[in-house]
Amino acid sequence: MSVASSRHFLQIPGPTNVPDRVLHAIAKPTIDHRGPDFADLALEVFDKLRAVVRTSADVVIYPSSGTGAWEAALVNTLSPGDAVLMCETGHFSGLWSELASTLGLRPETIAGDWRSGADPGAIEQRLRADTEHRIKAVAVVHNETSTGVVSDIPAVRAALDAADHPALLLVDTISSLGSVDYRHDDWGVDVTISCSQKGLMLPPGIGINAISAKALLAARSSTLLKSYWDWQPMLDSGKQGYFRFTPPTNLLFGLREALSMLLEEGLDEVVARHDRHAAATRAAVRAWGLEILCREPGTAPGTHHSSALTAVVMPPGHDADDLREIILDRFDTSLGAGLSKVAKKVFRIGHLGAFNDATLLGTLGVVEAGLGLAGVPHRTGGVTAAIAELTGRSGE
């Protein structure tokens, strides 16, 4: 068993490692959430959050998990019995569908294989068939955390437009905001759903909605019951920099710092950094002779490898959880588990948030050592392949 002489190596795809700058910000003394200092804090956070979401639209922040942000998006825009078109891309798209059903909505699911993103062609076909416009929203997970698959949101938007369908576009960016390229306004998204503990580099506890003018109009006729999640009182209070109820004050200190870090680095640079680390991770997995769960780009419509995480398929007869247990015990390192359909079949390497080349190489070294200790059939040289990718020497 390893001796924990330093920080635990947390390499799951969320919650992610919290940078020291953010930890120090969260440790500030709590202030009066009805006072002027808090209003200044909140207004600054709203402005910086809009910049990271790439929107001029209204934003709402809840003390909640990402699931709360899902619920807020649904109950503010829809009414009992409304149909919602959803795309099966993994575990979390399924949970969103279950939530919709629990709320009294009618989810209609386009089946998927958990290795591909949302199919824009299938979405367009289904919307064209909906001549009575019974479908009121299309809900897509941008980055499916359980599978490491990214869906092409601009292509989904184009599918809605090609079908000339008025449905709202709701997009889950819980594990993509701050790590994978995302543009609320440019891509015509109506509600962006996100939270704090992934690319935003915070502990869990903040849920986020960014809301288009079309979504605000839909909220006027929505009849699903809501109180805590009601946008309008939150928006009314937010104009002055206050919350309808007690806010997560110290997490907002941290969010301000995290957003500042992203904007200081530059959003394009943040995306490029995540792309580099994802490419190096995939190079390592291929060098080991293991399979990546996400299909290669181009073999399914709208599918891309995630730059936030990589899901690795275990060889037949080998248990991913056994490997994860060995790595945790020997190297004090946590990797992500396979969820529901892929439980024990895959492990997930998170490479998002506060993450650099050294962290990645340490993670991949631990995985390569763990594969050997667990007796998993593989080739050596994964770390070497990752180094070559990071240093631009992969073609030599």
CA-to-CA distance for 348 and 333, rounded, in angstroms?
A: 12
Domains of the chain as residue ranges with CATH: 9-16+266-390 (3.90.1150.10), 20-263 (3.40.640.10)
Q: Which residues pair with 60 in a beta bridge?
A: 209
β 168-172/191-195 pair status:
parallel
Full-model pTM? 0.96
pLDDT at 6: 73
DSSP 149-211: EEE-HHHHHHHHHHTT---EEEEE-TTTTTTS---TTTTT-SEEEEESSSTT---S-EEEEEE
CA-to-CA distance for 307 and 351, rounded, in angstroms?
A: 7
pLDDT at 396: 47
pLDDT at 299: 62
Contact (CB, 8 A) for 326 and 373:
yes
For the chain of 396 residues, list the mean pLDDT of each consecutive stretch of 10: 71 97 98 97 98 98 97 98 98 97 98 95 98 98 97 97 98 98 98 98 98 98 98 97 96 98 98 97 98 80 86 98 98 97 98 97 98 98 98 69
Q: Has 256 been labeled as part of a binding site?
A: no
pLDDT at 4: 59
CA-to-CA distance for 363 and 164, rounded, in angstroms?
A: 47
pLDDT at 394: 58
Contact (CB, 8 A) for 195 and 204:
yes
pLDDT at 393: 73
Token pair of 270, please? 């943040």
Q: Rounded to whole angstroms, what are the CA distances from 227 to 79, 112, 223, 232, 242?
A: 15, 34, 12, 10, 17
